[in-house]
């Protein structure tokens, strides 16, 4: 049975709200006894617009000196939902909190500030956040001085913000994706006013450089651009993240060089659509391929990127990736569907044939290439024959793995008003068949590695067994093997002995780097 559609209209009923004051700094209202300072709130119509305003690049001090000790002796927790972009935003949030004097904790009862950095891509991500708020309500009752905030993509949605104001009055702060750098000021406001503070910008957003980041581990995320202009009919991201805007090449390159100096072993370049990088520059001609070619010369062992759109994957980028070196042999290339009619309704603006031709070029140019993808099943109107086209494309490409999803409508997207006429039973059955096909090719790919020696970056102990180490190959395959904890953080050669569906097993071999037949 199809899931009942949520009625968002009830969250727009503010007949019980009393306006206390209104000026150039926003308005103050009272709902159910809770005073709320709305500095700015999300506006769906505004976020749809792609204005010609210049994007400003600001190099500013994110934490004013007078706020740098405000968190001394206090603790924070940041919970992150969603994609790598959210993970990276959380690094920035943690960096600012630590600059304010806060210290990380994992104990909720010790926390003086808890932030939920949210995702709006799927309905179940939204459900998780509201479920989490339900749990935190009890903690907030016990510890009323604790600050509780909701930020990220969900905060950019009108329905979500209104729902929090109406039903979750114990939340202290709501801010969006465009104004993360305003966090110190919002904390100050929430602490001293005791009001709920809402500041969500629907303007396109500027690029704020020099924000502190708290990075952990061996791998670093580097944002190279923000926003998306593709407007796929199922996707909320162009509304929550704004228009495409690229960081200046010199700022990206300086950050990657600095990470190399700090000893990071791997960098992942991030963007909602990384290969649209540079298309918004009007003073220079500099594309994602140019950026990759320049970063290739920096002394950092591995460079990845995510996520790319097939429509913007040009021949110059294919050629640069073929140069290898620190540019790894793994590309995440979302296809979403293998049927042209569904691709058209999705607004993907490429065909099955164009996608397969790109795959052919990439496999021809990048030896040992591993491809992964995203696929949606049960899109409105998808027939059995159209789904079979997706299965046949999966077989033709031979993806090593995929993020697979059942279609769920997102309020405000064009697809949300289409008739969702594929039953949940059919969607679930198709997802199972798709996953079985992906598993088959994943296993086959792993079997092909049996007996080969691969380069592994050792990341830590296996989650399930402290005596086993875990790491990843250049193609992002998870490898388990026995070894000393001293190996964590280094590269080792591992001979593959066994193939599982989602990971491979091996044993460390002492092969001189120059002689090693390093494959994936």
In three-state form (DSSP H/G/I as H, E/B as E, the rest C), the secondary structure along 220-253 is: EEEECEECCCCCCCCCCHHHHHCCCEECCHHHHH
What does the pLDDT look like over 37-54, one tens digit per residue?
A: 999 888 777 766 766 677
Residue 215 pLDDT class (50, 70, 90 cuts)? very high
- The answer to whether residue 83 scores a pLDDT higher than 50 is yes
Known binding residue 232? Answer is yes
Task: Please say if the pLDDT value at position 205 is more than 70.
Answer: no
What pLDDT, on the 0 to 100 scale, is given for residue 172? Answer: 97
- Given this model, what pLDDT does residue 474 score? 97
Q: Quick check: 494 and 453 in contact, CB under 8 A? A: yes
The pLDDT of 450-471, averaged and rounded, is 92
- Whether the CB-CB separation of 340 and 310 falls below 8 Å is answered with no
Identify the weakest region by mean pLDDT among 154-168, 290-304, 311-325, 346-360.
154-168
- Is 151 assigned a ligand-binding role in the annotation? no
Percent of the chain having pLDDT more than 70? 93
At 180 the pLDDT is 93
Q: Quote the longest CA-to-CA distance of the chain.
A: 75
Question: Judging by DSSP bridges, how do beta strands 18-23 and 26-31 pair with one another?
Answer: antiparallel
What local confidence, expressed as pLDDT, does residue 330 receive?
A: 98
* Domains (range + CATH), the chain: 24-199 (3.40.50.12160), 215-448 (3.80.30.20), 450-510 (2.40.50.140)
Asked if 178 contacts 205 with a C-beta cutoff of 8 angstroms, the reply is yes
Residue-wise pLDDT for 391-445, tens only, equals: 999 999 999 999 999 999 988 899 999 998 999 999 999 999 999 999 999 999 9
Q: What is the pLDDT of residue 26?
A: 87
The answer on whether 235 is annotated among ligand-binding residues is yes
DSSP label at residue 319:
H
Residue 2 has what pLDDT?
42
Q: What is the pLDDT of residue 1?
A: 40
- Distance between CA atoms of residues 278 and 283, nearest Å: 10
Q: Report how far residue 205's alpha carbon sits from residue 196's, in angstroms, rounded to the nearest whole number.
A: 23
Give yes or no for residue 384 having a pLDDT over 50: yes
DSSP string, 251-273: HHHHHHHHHHHHT-SEEEEE-TT
At 257-275, the pLDDT tens digits run: 999 999 999 999 999 999 9
Q: Are 70 and 191 in contact (CB under 8 A)?
A: yes
Spatial neighbors of 291 by CB under 8 A, at least 6 apart, are 224, 249, 252, 253, 269, 277, 278
With 50 as the cut, is the pLDDT of residue 301 above it?
Answer: yes
pLDDT for the residue 489: 95
State the Cα–Cα distance between residues 53 and 480, nearest whole angstrom. Answer: 50
Residue given tokens 């996608």 in the structure block:
355
When mean pLDDT is compared across 11-15, 209-213, 232-236, 336-340, the lowest value belongs to: 11-15
Confidence at residue 4, expressed as pLDDT on a 0 to 100 scale: 46
Q: What is the CA radius of gyration of the chain?
A: 24
Computed over every residue of the chain, the mean pLDDT equals 91
| Phi, psi angle pair for 348, to nearest 5° | -80, -25
pLDDT band (50, 70, 90) for residue 463: confident
Confidence of residue 462 (pLDDT cuts 50, 70, 90): confident
Q: What is the reported pLDDT for 181?
A: 94
**Between β-strands 26-31 and 34-40, what pairing exists: parallel, antiparallel or unpaired?**
antiparallel
pLDDT of residue 23: 86
Quote the pLDDT of residue 61.
81
Q: What is the pLDDT of residue 467?
A: 84
DSSP state of 42: -
Q: What percent of the chain has pLDDT over 90?
A: 77
Q: What mean pLDDT is predicted for residues 124-146?
A: 93
Q: What pLDDT does residue 398 have?
A: 97
Which pLDDT belongs to residue 324? Answer: 97
């Amino acid at each position: 049975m199809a899931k009942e559609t949520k009625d968002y209209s009830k969250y727009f009923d503010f007949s019980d709200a009393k306006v206390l004051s209104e000026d150039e700094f926003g308005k103050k209202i009272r709902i159910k006894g809770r005073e709320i300072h709305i500095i700015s709130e999300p506006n769906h119509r505004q976020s749809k617009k792609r204005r010609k305003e210049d994007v400003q690049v600001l190099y500013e001090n994110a934490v004013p000196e007078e706020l740098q000790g405000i968190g001394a002796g206090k603790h924070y927790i940041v919970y992150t939902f969603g994609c790598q972009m959210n993970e990276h935003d959380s690094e920035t949030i943690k960096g600012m909190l630590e600059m304010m004097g806060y210290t990380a904790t994992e104990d909720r009862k010790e926390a003086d500030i808890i932030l939920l950095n949210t995702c709006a891509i799927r309905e179940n991500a939204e459900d998780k956040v509201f479920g989490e708020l339900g749990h935190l309500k009890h903690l907030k009752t016990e510890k009323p001085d604790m600050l509780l905030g909701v930020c990220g993509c969900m905060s950019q949605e009108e329905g979500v913000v209104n729902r929090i104001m109406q039903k979750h009055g114990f939340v202290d702060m709501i801010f969006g994706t465009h104004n993360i750098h305003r966090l110190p000021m919002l904390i100050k406001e929430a602490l001293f006013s005791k009001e709920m503070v809402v500041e969500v910008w629907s303007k396109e957003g500027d690029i704020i450089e020099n924000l502190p980041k708290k990075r952990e581990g061996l791998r670093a995320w580097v944002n190279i651009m923000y926003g998306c202009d593709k407007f796929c009919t199922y996707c909320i991201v162009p509304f929550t993240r704004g228009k495409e805007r690229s960081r200046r090449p010199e700022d990206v390159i300086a950050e990657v060089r600095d990470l190399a100096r700090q000893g990071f072993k791997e960098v992942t370049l991030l963007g909602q659509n990384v290969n649209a990088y540079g298309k918004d520059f009007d003073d220079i001609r500099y594309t994602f391929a140019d950026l990759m070619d320049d970063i290739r010369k920096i002394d950092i062992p591995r460079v990845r990127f995510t996520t790319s759109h097939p429509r913007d994957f040009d021949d110059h980028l294919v050629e640069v990736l073929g140069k290898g070196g620190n540019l790894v042999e793994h590309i995440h290339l979302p296809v979403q569907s293998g049927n042209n009619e569904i691709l058209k309704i999705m607004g993907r603006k490429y065909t099955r044939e164009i996608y397969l031709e790109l795959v052919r070029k990439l496999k021809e140019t990048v030896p040992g290439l591993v491809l992964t993808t995203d696929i949606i099943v049960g899109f409105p109107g998808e027939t059995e024959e159209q789904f079979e086209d997706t299965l046949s494309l999966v077989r033709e490409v031979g993806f090593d793995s995929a993020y697979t999803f059942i279609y769920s409508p997102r309020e405000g997207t064009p697809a949300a008003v289409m008739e969702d006429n594929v039953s949940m039973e059919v969607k679930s059955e198709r997802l199972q068949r798709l996953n079985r096909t992906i598993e088959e090719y994943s296993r086959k790919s792993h079997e092909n590695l049996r007996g080969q020696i691969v380069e592994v970056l050792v990341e830590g102990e296996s989650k399930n067994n402290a005596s086993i180490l875990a790491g990843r190959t250049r193609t992002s395959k998870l490898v388990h093997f026995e070894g000393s904890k001293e190996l964590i953080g280094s590269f080792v050669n591992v001979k593959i002995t066994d193939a599982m569906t989602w990971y491979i097993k091996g044993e460390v071999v002492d092969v001189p780097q120059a002689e090693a037949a390093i494959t994936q």
